[in-house]
Amino acid sequence: MAHVVVIGASTGGLPFAYDVKKNLGKKHEVTVISNNPNFNFIPSNPWVAVGWRSEDDISFELLPRLKRKKINLIVGEATEIKPNDNQVIVGDQVVDYDYLVLATGPKLAFDEVDGLGPDGHSVSICTTAHAESAHQKWEDFCASGGGPIVVGAVQGASCFGPAYEFAAIMDTDLRKRGIRDKCPITFVTPEPYIGHLGLGGVGDSKGMLESECRDRHIKWHVNSKVDKVEANKVSISNCDDNGEVIKSVEVESKYTMLLPAFKGVDTVANLANVDSGFVNPRGFVMVNKYQQSPVKDNIFSLGVNIAIPPVEATPIMCGTPKTGYMIESMVTAIVHNIEDIIEGKEPSHVPTWNAVCIADMGDTGAAFVALPQIPPRNVTWAKKGKMVHLAKIAFEKFFIRNMKTGNSEPSYQKYTFKMLGIERLKKK
């Protein structure tokens, strides 16, 4: 009997646990280690931050769902991984494994910018707890009559979609409240242009998102580093195409949300002390084309915590996003590769790493497709419309329902491609 342990139970770890248990069957054991007793649907956090959703709407308790599928759950922080002993330490508990899957998500590097984050002078939508706190501050902000807003991402960030989402969602909510005219919005990003998205642009994402910002009266600063976040302003450095500072700017702000750069969580980053081949300098897990560690062939990794190089060089560092569809392909590949190894075969399944993103904009939405993620691409496509807004609402319900019922294949591809007509595009 093999024991598969997965650290993390979010949009990568939980589907993996269901899928690997379904494929391996009763003869093998699956254990989930999670520092949160609940599953939270992270893509809905921007809605939580403006009060369009509550934590209860997008969360549920893990234990009864996993127990029904005969999957073990350990709630606690994995404080140490001992790859040479095939063990994970969770508090006082030692968990032995045959195969380990790292689906921890990232460490949020708020400390890399002075004053950034919930413990500083900005809010966050990176976790559901952060989004709930952001909502409380949003209500106070609106009740006080509003004021200037800064939204965007700092240097080294990699997931730009939620920043564009939140800017548009705030704009929509402020118009509903009748105070948009009192709330100038400024978008700040290290991207070389609006709509770069860490992907070198997707279709006409540049023109589409620039037009959206103009229509919503959102000003922007690109090629910008955030130097400091204070209670009433954000200090930034505008840079040229070589990354050299050309002007320092102070942008007034009464409500600030800037996505941080990501790093590997400490427990994973500490694997560098065992062997330098486990993680890169940022603490992200190094993997081969089978999502397998180059150091230990019984360790796999998926999701935001894997090391993926930037799609292209930019004047200011922009990381590469890991979208839900990309993560789903990683889940499927790892499940089948573990099956292969158990059966005495070599791993043979390679994930697609295609990028598909659905971004809600409050009253409309935008979808971006890059197949594959790294150019040249077979499909590069961007589309905006009410249909995308409705597709994301429907997908939220679809995914949460599947995670509650233990459906091992929520399938971003089958659902999203069908909703957006991308299968038709692929056939052309």
Cα separation, 393 vs 404, in Å, equals 17
Could you list the beta-strand ranges (E) of 9-92. 29-34, 38-40, 59-61, 72-75, 78-82, 87-90
Query: What pLDDT score was predicted for residue 424?
Result: 47
Please report the DSSP string for 354-411 in residue order: -EEEEEE-SSSEEEEEEESSSSS-SEEEEEESHHHHHHHHHHHHHHHHHHHHT-S---
pLDDT at 260 over 90: yes
Task: Please tell me the predicted confidence (pLDDT) of residue 279.
Answer: 98
Residue 72 has a pLDDT of: 98
374 closest CA partner among 196, 199, 156, 198: 199
Region 383-395: mean pLDDT is: 91
Buried b (16+ CB within 10 A) or exposed e, 130-163: bbebbbebbeebbeeebbbbbbbbbbbbbbbbbb
Nearest Cα neighbor of 177 from 210, 134, 146 is 146
381 pLDDT band (50/70/90 cuts)?
A: confident
Tell me what pLDDT residue 81 has.
98
Supply the pLDDT for residue 418: 57
CA 304/CA 414 separation, integer angstroms: 22
Segment among 65-74, 277-286, 291-300, 324-333 with least mean pLDDT? 324-333
**Is residue 409 very low, low, confident or very high in pLDDT (cuts 50, 70, 90)?**
low
Catalytic residue among 126, 159, 239, 318: 159
What pLDDT was estimated at residue 427?
Answer: 42
**Coil/strand/helix, residue 7:** strand
Segment 320-344 mean pLDDT: 93
Q: Which fold has domain 3-107+262-348?
A: FAD/NAD(P)-binding domain (3.50.50)
Mean pLDDT along residues 125-149: 98
- Residue 382 pairs in a beta bridge with 368
Mean pLDDT of 319-343: 93
Determine the Cα–Cα distance for residues 317 and 158; give it in Å rounded to an integer.
9
Question: What average pLDDT does this structure show over 341-351?
Answer: 96
Q: What is the pLDDT at residue 419?
A: 56
Q: Rounded distance, CA 397 to CA 407, Å?
A: 13
| Nearest CA among 252, 196, 259 for reference residue 222 | 196
| Closest listed residue to residue 233, CA positions, set 120, 108, 129 | 120
Domains 3-107+262-348 and 110-261 share a fold: yes
- Does pLDDT of 268 surpass 90? yes
* % of the chain beyond a pLDDT of 70: 95
- Chain segment 275-299, per-residue pLDDT in tens: 999 999 999 999 999 999 999 999 9
Whether the predicted pLDDT of 428 surpasses 50: no
Confidence of residue 372 (pLDDT cuts 50, 70, 90): confident
Q: Select from 422, 427, 418, 354 the least CA-distant residue to 391.
A: 418
142 classed as catalytic: no
Residue 425: the pLDDT is: 47
* Domain ranges across the chain: 3-107+262-348, 110-261
pTM of the model: 0.94
pLDDT at 411: 56
Nearest to 392 by CA among 37, 52, 18, 15: 52
pLDDT at 88: 98
Question: Could you tell me which residue, 325 or 259, shows the higher pLDDT?
Answer: 259
- CATH class label, 110-261: alpha beta
pLDDT at residue 426 tops 50: no
Structure tokens at 409: 């294949």
- For position 412, what pLDDT does the model report? 53
Q: CA 92 to CA 171: how far, in whole Å?
A: 48
Give the whole-angstrom CA distance, residue 80 versus residue 86.
11
pLDDT more than 90, % of the chain: 86
Instruction: Quick: pLDDT tens for 174-204.
Output: 999 999 999 999 999 999 999 999 999 998 9
Please give the span between the terminal C-alpha atoms of the chain, in angstroms, as a whole number.
46
Task: Give me the numbers of helices (H) and strands (E) for the chain, helices first please.
Answer: 12, 22
Write the DSSP assignment of 243-271 as a string of letters. S-EEEEEEEE-SEEEEEPPEEE-HHHHGG
Query: CA-to-CA distance for 164 and 157, rounded, in angstroms?
Result: 13
Residue 114 CA to residue 228 CA, distance in Å, equals 5
Residue 374: its pLDDT value, please?
A: 77
In whole numbers, what is the pLDDT of the chain averaged over residues? 94
| Residue 208 CB neighbours (<10 A) | 18
User: Which tens digit of pLDDT belongs to each residue from 74-100?
Assistant: 999 999 999 999 999 999 999 999 999
Given the residues 142, 183, 239, 357, the one annotated as active site: 357
H/E stretch holding 227: strand 224-229
Mean of pLDDT values over 141-153:
98
Residue 213 catalytic? no
